[in-house]
Structure formats: structure tokens, C-alpha cells
Structure 1
Amino acid sequence: MTILDENSEVSHLRAEEERILASFTRRLMEIAAIPGALGTGSSPTAALNAMRLPAIALDRHGCVADANAAAEVVFDDNIRIKDRRLFVRDPDSRSLLKEAIDQLTNPQRLDPPALEPVIVPRVDKLPVIVRIWPFEGAVHTPAQAVRALLTLNALGPRPGPSAAIIAKTFRLTPAEAKLACIIARGAPPDTAARELKITRETARNQLKSVFAKTDTHRQSELVALLLQVQ
């Protein structure tokens, strides 16, 4: 298998993960809305924070009612909360976000609109994908009730699972576990070799051993398996 084949497989896997995440998040939004709807005082972003999903709750006026800790990690000069509003520096995406929130908070609408994600560019970083999840019937709730949740998907390298846990789970050597952590991010063996300061041949031999011990045969299968390790 060539590096190009491996990169193509990982790109396909990431696209599939994105589709699954969108479907899963929609259901999670419904679950997260329950505490607020019941008036328990619990934050609707708390359940999402437990899933390490950055989320911001908006009230019926489009103001930020709450933001979880995972969202705080994403905030920088490009995207942040300012004066109880979600502020983005890029003027085009700022305009799109404002238009979407205005649609969402329009009291004349009986049903929440289907809103497209807003892509927020960042200086010297990959963009953040902002998805808007309306809550049906929220316009009939009190002023401070949650009207919608925004989820933030900050693109870029993500930390892989713990090398120690991977080693114990699949009986890998410490060197193999370190390689597996890098592969779990979707990186090809050549990138792993550079990060670990080993030769390409050593990285490929270690990867073959990892395949054998995890009963996988392709990098996409291995990544999918490793991403399940918490």
C-alpha cells in the first residue's frame, strides 16, 4: 500500500467520522436540551462537555447563555465571546453567523430553520466549523431558556489516545504504542518516523507489528480501532 493510498483512506475515514458526528450530535442536542426544559438549572452544555464537544448555548435573543470548558479551549483572537455574543474576526463568516442567528431568533418563524455550518477561518490555524442546532419549541419558553446550541469543530491535529493505555490494551511495546498514537491522528508512517526520529523502515516494521497485534490490515481500520480507546 502506498502513502497516497493510506492518506486517501484516512481522508475518507475523517469524512465518515464527520458524518457520524453530525448525526450523533443531533441526538445529543435533544438529550442536552432536557435539563433546561425541565427547569433543573443544569447547563445544557454540560453533557456535551463530558463528551469533549465544544458547545455554546444561545438564548432566544441570540445571546450566549453558557459555554462549556471544551469551547473555552477553542477561543482565541479569531473566535471568542464578546459582550455576550459569539464574535468571529473574519468579516464574511461573521456576517454569515449573524444572518443565521437572526433567522434562528426571528419570533415570526414557527419552526426552526435548517442552517448550514459556518466556516470560521483562523490566522495560522485551520478553520473552525460552527454548527447551529435549533431546539424546536424554544421560542415559547422563558427569556433565558436555550434557543439553540452551537458546536465548534476546531480542525487540526488532535492528540491521540494514551500510549500507555494502547500498549496495555494491545500488548504493544512502548515504541509501537508511541507510533500507534501518531497513526491514530491520521498521520502516515513517514510523518511518524520524523516525529519519533526513527528511520522510515523502522516505522514501517513497527506498523506491521501493530497491525498484527491489533488484528487490522489497513491504516484506516487501525485508526478506527484506536479512536475507540479512551
Structure 2
Amino acid sequence: MTVLEKETDIGNLRAEEERILATFTRRLIEIAAVSGARGAAASPTATLNAMRLPAIALDRHGFVVDVNSAAEAVFDNNIKIKDRRLFVRDLDSRTLIKDAIDQLSGPPRLNSLAVEPVIVPRTDKLPVIVRIWPFEGPEHHPGQEIHALMTLNALGPRPGPPATILAKTFRLTPSEAKLACIIARGAPPDIAARELKISRETARNQLKSVFAKTDTHRQSELVALLLQVE
């Protein structure tokens, strides 16, 4: 497989990951609703927080009812809560989110996705994917005023295995191990090159070496393998 083929596969991987994430998130929302129906004390956002999913609860008018700590970790000057609303600095994204919230004025339907995801760009960071899910909880639940759940998927580096462990496990050089650590967090080679302050060509050559030493051929295979290392 050539480097170009690998890069194409990486692009396909990101699209596939996005599709899987949407399906997975839908299932987590269903679990949160079922937990409330069974009388669980935790709010839907707390239930999703335990699953490490950033979530914001909205009332019928689009005002923020609750925010979990996973969502708070995503907030910065580009996206945050302001005056009980989700504020995004990008004007186009702000308009799309407002329109999406306005669509939720009717009866909520848990089994459907009301709107397309909104991509919120961030300065010097990869974007945040915002989804708004209709939510129907049990009437007796303390969070019965919740009309929708907003989930945030902040793209970019995520915690991965330590570089020193990767180096010892796969006999990587220190430079290769640092690259592998970033790749394991879901970042593409170009982002890894920027973070390591090396050229794209150097990053690609190191990635080829990591592929060889780990006996993997695609980034999806490499990430799945590296994430098994703790």
C-alpha cells in the first residue's frame, strides 16, 4: 500500500468514525432516557457524563437546563454557555444552531435525529461537532423539563498511551513513539507533524516505520492496536 492509499484510507476512516459516533451517541441518549424511566437518581447529562459524553440539556425554549463536566471541558472562547444559551463565536454556526433549536418546538421524538450536525470552527483548534437530540424523559423524573440534549464532539488530540510505553512495547525510536502517541489519540499525520514541529514528509516517513514495526497497514488498525497499550 502506498502512502497516498494510506492517506485516502485515513480520510475514509474519519468519515466512518463520524457515522459510528452518530449511531453510538443515539444509543447513549436512549440509555439515558431508559435510566430515568427506571427511577435512576442521576440526570440524563450525569448519565452521559459517566459515559464520557459531553452533553447539555435544553428546555423547550432552548435555554440551558444542565451541563455535565465533560461538556465544560470543551468550552473555550469559541464555544461556551452565555446567558443560559450555548454561545458560539462563529456567526454561521450560531445561526445553524439557533435554527436547529427552533425545530424542537414540537413534540420530542427520541427515535429520530431532528437536525443535521453543526460544525463549529475554533481558532487554532479542530472544530466541535454539535448535535441536538429530541429527548423525552419520564414525567416523574427531576429533569422532566428537559426537551432536548445537545452533545459535543470536540475533534482533536485525546488522551493516549504514554510514548515511553509505546517505545518499549514496539521497539520504536523516541521520535516514532511520540508520533505514535499522537496518532493513537485520533490525530491525522498532518496534525501530529504540527504538534511535533516536524515536516509532513518526516511525519509520513516515521508513520511508515511505525506501520512496519507494529505489523499494521492502516491507521485504523494502528490506533486499535495502540489503544490496547496502557
Q: Does 1:60 align with 2:60?
A: yes
1:141/1:105 CA distance change after superposition, 3 Å? farther
Cα RMSD, aligned residues only: 3.6
Aligned equivalent of 1:156: 156
Q: Find the aligned partners of 2:166 and 2:53 in 1 and give their Cα distance.
A: 23
TM-score (norm 2): 0.76
Q: Find the aligned partners of 1:172 and 1:68 in 2 and give their Cα distance.
A: 40
Alignment of 1:14-163 (within 5 A): 14-106=14-106, 109=107, 111=109, 114-135=114-135, 137-138=136-137, 144-145=143-144, 146-163=146-163
**Percent identity at matched positions?**
64
Give the stretch that moved more between structures: 112-121 or 66-75.
Answer: 112-121
Give the stretch that moved more between structures: 38-47 or 159-168.
Answer: 159-168
Contact 1:183 1:189 in 2 (8 A): no
Give the stretch that moved more between structures: 156-165 or 47-56.
Answer: 156-165
Give ranges in structure 2 of 5+ residues lacking alignment: none
Q: Find the aligned partners of 2:190 and 2:128 in 1 and give their Cα distance.
A: 27
Match of 2:44, SS state, is coil
CA-CA distance at 1:26 after TM superposition: 0.7
Contact 1:59 1:144 in 2 (8 A): no
Aligned equivalent of 1:183: 183
Give ranges in structure 1 of 5+ residues lacking alignment: none
1:177/1:12 CA distance change after superposition, 3 Å? same
Q: Paired residues, what number? A: 225
Q: Deviations over 1:167-222 (max 9, x none)?
A: 56x45456253332133244439955992879x789847853x4455332334421
Match of 1:119, SS state, is strand
